[in-house]
A = this chain, B = another copy of it.
Amino acid sequence: MLMERLNSNKSFGGLQQQFEHDSKVLNCLMRFSVYLPPQATNEHKVPVLYWLSGLTCSDENFVQKAGAQRMAAELGMAIVMPDTSPRGDDVVDDEAYDLGKGAGFYLNATQEPWAKHYQMYDYVAYELPALIEANFPVNNKRAISGHSMGGHGALTIGLRNAPRFTSISAFSPIVSPLNCPWGHKALTHYLGDDQALWVKYDAVELMKKIKGDTSNLPPIKVDQGLADNFLEEQLKPHLLLNAANQVNYPIELNTHSGYDHSYFFIASFIDEHLQFHARHLFK
């Protein structure tokens, strides 16, 4: 598979890099960023945390603003940061910030004009990990995390693919597209009006369907700022907590007074997320 390196910077003894490749799933050129800790060599392959960013972001926001490289270097964990939608002049867009480019919602679109390129679910769950594992000194231990729309992506991709990802975490996630305006708008456009087709992209609905022994399912950690302007209308993390408690799913929801929806919140608690994933990735 064609892959070109665009940038490489030494960071905390490891390498922060950016690549471009030709995605078959998305039918376009895609960029992603990867942090390789100093421990990663062909003789010593390291596990990978996939980080999914939120609305309007590219692969670069988390790289520059989260400060995650320090702890990733300490733990010996790679981080892979995909873009948030297909890109390029051939890809259909919308002028709104919450639809089209920068707003792929990590799902496989079925509706026109979106279906040709907007297949972010398959890209993040399968195509990108295969590319990473074929080309970088990483093993097949994977965890997944994200912010806001990316938290939605991490929860839905993680829940639907156990045990493909050993652990799942999210900052300020959209936990139920069925129950918020961002979700209704995006899923109507990408999936159509039949809400029965939305449930596989709704973490709360996925959680409700879980049955039996949950002790070996990937544990979930969610952090939420209480000064987040989107908390009441869009995020509603208690819906996920309630559904998880009903099925005895391993979950922790931590709330933090005074913190908002910004990367300043993510940076303040990213170390704890990396440590959470390390406990499962290195088990």
Contact = CB atoms under 8 A, between A and B. Distances in A.
A69 B267 contact: yes
Contacts of A262: 9
- Residue of A11, A227, A263 with most chain B CB atoms under a 10 A cut-off: A11
Interface in A258-272: 258-260, 262-265, 267-268
Contacts of A267: 11-12, 67, 69-70
A259 B38 CA distance: 13
Residues of A contacting B: mostly: mixed
Q: How many copies does the complex hold?
A: 2
A267 B65 CA distance: 11
B64 A268 contact: no
Contacts of A65: 64-65
A89 to B, nearest CB: 28
Contact of A11 (B64, B70, B264): B264
Contacts of A263: 64
A5 interface: no
Contact of A268 (B10, B225, B258, B268): B10
A268 B67 contact: no
Nearest to A66: B67
Nearest to A67: B67
Contacts of A10: 225, 227, 258-260, 264-265, 268
- Residue of A13, A67, A264, A265 with most chain B CB atoms under a 10 A cut-off: A264
A43 to B, nearest CB: 20
Given A11-B267, A67-B67, 9 more contacts: A9-B260, A10-B227, A10-B259, A10-B264, A10-B265, A12-B268, A13-B268, A67-B267, A70-B268
5 contacts: A9-B260, A9-B265, A11-B268, A69-B267, A69-B268
Give 8 nearest A-B pairs by CB, closest first.
A67-B67, A9-B264, A11-B264, A10-B258, A10-B259, A12-B268, A64-B65, A9-B262
